[in-house]
Structure 1
């Protein structure tokens, strides 16, 4: 009878933390798109720098909320 770790084996290097970082990158797209859409409807055109800034802010919020470096 072996231990549980022997049966499961090591996790592949792309699992866990890497998947969480990719999730943060992709999940940040929808709120950014919604915020930019609202901005365009109510105020007017958004500069590319404004769109990038909005994405960086939302991505940072996702990273703080999900804390991908803690997944093991």
Structure 2
């Protein structure tokens, strides 16, 4: 029985969860306020590419809105 697809999906989900947590931790350490709605949006995102983009934006964002709309920097 080939479980590589399942493992791949599981691994992708775990990576997405890790990236989402990294975005939230980074914003928290930088003192950027994150609403419950924004927190759910970040945690609920399963696209690693989007989360990578948000993580990059979180490096310079001064608000959660900048993470989503790219106005940071």
TM-score (norm 2): 0.49
Structure with more contact order per residue of length (Cα contacts < 8 Å, sep ≥ 6): 1
Tell me which structure has the larger Cα radius of gyration: 1
